[in-house]
């Protein structure tokens, strides 16, 4: 399930005289595991399933994920249908990973890791190599697996961007559903004022999720964003989601507009934006990695939403992104790591779910 922090409910206004005495004024509540303190307010994480316990909803999601990744996984799994581990198997595996758009660097990394696991484990059958690949992919992707945290700031301002057609506005609608379902109050900012009907599309999602929206017909995107963040603070919202205009990284004037939106949001709230998310289309393969690099150079990304994995044979691009994220962290340790918060394999509201590295690796290889 979705994971984020929420503030503890305020105490009752009055206590009967027979009730136990209230704690001392300087008493500090004990933090729960995985939680923390915000000022004097205790924050706790939404309970996650115990290890080994998979809720029915998650089981359904895993079935969808496996079906969605079948195009990518089938081409890789055929490598392991032989009876021996030899150079030909590794050559076929290299080709399959490259065809899945894992990229040269990630393919070399995974092959080296698999060979090491095979050697150290004394493996003799190709099926064991397949299991070694699952483990190698899961380990590579693990650093991308982080929960989106809500509640450390009020409101938590999330700026969402991406190229046209990646599913940005739809993903915002699905994310809004997740947040609203968990009890968070959400305000949407229709800052995509360039695309025809973008404001109306976001309004439909606002109506479906019964949340408020700030918009201006033909207004300046930065001004809409400023008004939304200011309104979110004034109305005590938990989250402000800013929908920015879709653009290509080569559209330098529009990329500069993104920088302007970020600067203006910071004027409304000096700590914002607290998350900068990029929505990428899984169908675009290595081009998705190029988009990640370009938008990160412009905005310093904190997270990704990967959509349309059910329509592609290029799901290996997540391995390339994971390797890039690792190199970025080593080169720029002061920057926040980039996480894959959500992945999508369908058009329904429930078809966007939190990313889990091992689930993804297992679904990828069936």
Mean pLDDT for the stretch of residues 333-353: 86
Q: Residue ranges of the domains in the chain?
A: 1-8+34-45+55-152+315-335+357-366, 153-314+336-356
Between CA 44 and CA 336 the distance in angstroms is 22
Spatial neighbors of 54 by CB under 8 A, at least 6 apart, are 62
Whether 96 shows a pLDDT value over 80: the answer reads: yes
In CATH, what number does 153-314+336-356 get? 3.40.50.300
Q: Are 292 and 280 in contact (CB under 8 A)?
A: yes
Choice between 353 and 107, residue whose per-residue pLDDT is larger: 107
pLDDT value of residue 24: 44
232-249 per-residue burial string, b: 16 or more CB within 10 A, e: under 16: bbeeebbbbbbbbbbbeb
Structural contact between residues 183 and 39, judged by C-beta atoms closer than 8 angstroms: no
Domain 1-8+34-45+55-152+315-335+357-366 carries which CATH code?
1.20.120.140
Paired tokens of 245: 């205009």
**DSSP single-letter state for residue 124:** -
DSSP letter string, 256-276: HHHHHHHHHHHHH-TT--SEE
Question: Would strands 5-7 and 41-45 be described as parallel, antiparallel, or unpaired?
Answer: antiparallel
CA-based angle 68:72:74, to the nearest 5? Answer: 100
Average pLDDT, stretch 72-101? 89
Res. 365 pLDDT band, cuts 50 70 90: confident
Task: Report the pLDDT value the prediction gives residue 18, as an integer from 0 to 100.
Answer: 45
User: Backbone phi, then psi, for 186, in 5-degree steps?
Assistant: -120, 140
For residue 280, is pLDDT > 60? yes
Burial 99-137 (b: 16+ CB within 10 A, else e): bbbbbeebbebbbebbbebbeeeebeebebbbbbbbbbb
What percent of the residues of the chain are helix, what percent strand, and what percent coil, each to the nearest 5? Answer: 50, 15, 35
Give the H/E segment covering residue 7.
strand 5-7
* pLDDT(248) > 60: yes
- In 3D space, the residue among 291, 253, 270 whose CA is nearest the CA of residue 161 turns out to be 291
What is the structure's pLDDT at 5?
44
- In sequence order, what are the residues at sequence separation of 6 or more whose Cβ sits closer than 8 angstroms to the Cβ of residue 62? 54, 359, 363
Angle between helices 56-68 and 357-364 (to 10 degrees): 50
Distance from C-alpha of 321 to C-alpha of 319, rounded to nearest angstrom: 5
What pLDDT score does 121 carry? 92
Whole-angstrom distance, CA of residue 200 vs CA of residue 209: 14
Helix (H) or strand (E) holding 340: strand 339-344
Q: How confident is the model at residue 220 (pLDDT cuts 50, 70, 90)?
A: confident
Q: How confident is the model at residue 81 (pLDDT cuts 50, 70, 90)?
A: confident
Choice between 169 and 1, residue whose per-residue pLDDT is larger? 169
Q: What is the mean pLDDT of the chain?
A: 81
H-helix or E-strand spanning residue 341: strand 339-344
Place of tokens 């879709």: 246
**291-315 average pLDDT score:** 88
Which residue, 334, 353, 358, is CA-closest to 342?
Answer: 353
With vertex at residue 241, the alpha carbon angle to CA 299 and CA 213, rounded to the nearest 5 degrees, is 140
Interatomic CA distance for residues 118 and 306, integer angstroms = 31
Q: What's the pTM value of the predicted model, to 2 decimals? A: 0.82
Contact 239, 4 (CB under 8 A): no
């Amino acid at each position: 399930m979705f994971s984020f922090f929420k503030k503890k409910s305020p105490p009752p206004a009055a206590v009967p005289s027979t009730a136990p005495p209230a704690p001392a004024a300087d008493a500090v509540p004990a933090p729960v595991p995985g939680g923390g303190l915000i000022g004097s307010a205790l924050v706790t994480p939404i309970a996650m399933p115990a290890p080994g316990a998979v809720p029915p909803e998650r089981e359904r999601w895993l079935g969808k994920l496996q079906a969605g990744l079948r195009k990518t996984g089938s081409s890789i799994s055929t490598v392991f249908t032989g009876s021996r581990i030899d150079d030909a198997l590794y050559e076929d595996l290299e080709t399959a990973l490259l065809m899945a758009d894992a990229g040269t660097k990630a393919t070399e990394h995974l092959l080296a890791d698999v060979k090491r696991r095979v050697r150290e484990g004394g493996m003799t059958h190709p099926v064991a190599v397949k299991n070694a690949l699952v483990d190698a992919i899961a380990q590579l992707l693990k650093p991308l697996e982080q929960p989106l945290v809500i509640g450390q700031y009020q409101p938590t301002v999330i700026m969402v961007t991406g190229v046209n057609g990646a599913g940005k506005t739809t993903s915002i609608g699905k994310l809004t559903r997740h947040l609203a379902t968990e009890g968070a109050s959400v305000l949407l900012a229709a800052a995509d004022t360039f695309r025809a009907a973008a404001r109306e599309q976001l309004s439909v999602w606002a109506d479906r999720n019964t949340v408020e929206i700030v918009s201006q017909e033909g207004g300046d995107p930065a001004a809409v964003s400023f008004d939304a963040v200011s309104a979110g603070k004034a109305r005590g919202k938990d989250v402000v989601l800013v929908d920015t205009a879709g653009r290509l990284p080569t559209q330098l004037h529009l990329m500069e507009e993104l920088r302007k939106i970020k600067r203006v949001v910071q004027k409304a709230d000096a700590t914002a934006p607290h998350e900068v998310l990029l929505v990428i289309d899984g169908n675009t393969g290595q081009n998705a990695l190029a988009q990640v690099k370009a938008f990160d150079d412009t905005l310093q990304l904190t997270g990704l939403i990967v959509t349309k994995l059910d329509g592609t044979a290029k799901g290996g691009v997540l391995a390339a992104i994971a390797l890039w994220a690792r190199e970025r962290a080593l080169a720029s340790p002061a920057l926040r790591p980039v996480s894959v918060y959500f992945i999508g394999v369908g058009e329904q509201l429930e078809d966007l779910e939190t990313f889990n590295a091992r689930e993804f690796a297992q679904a990828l290889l069936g």
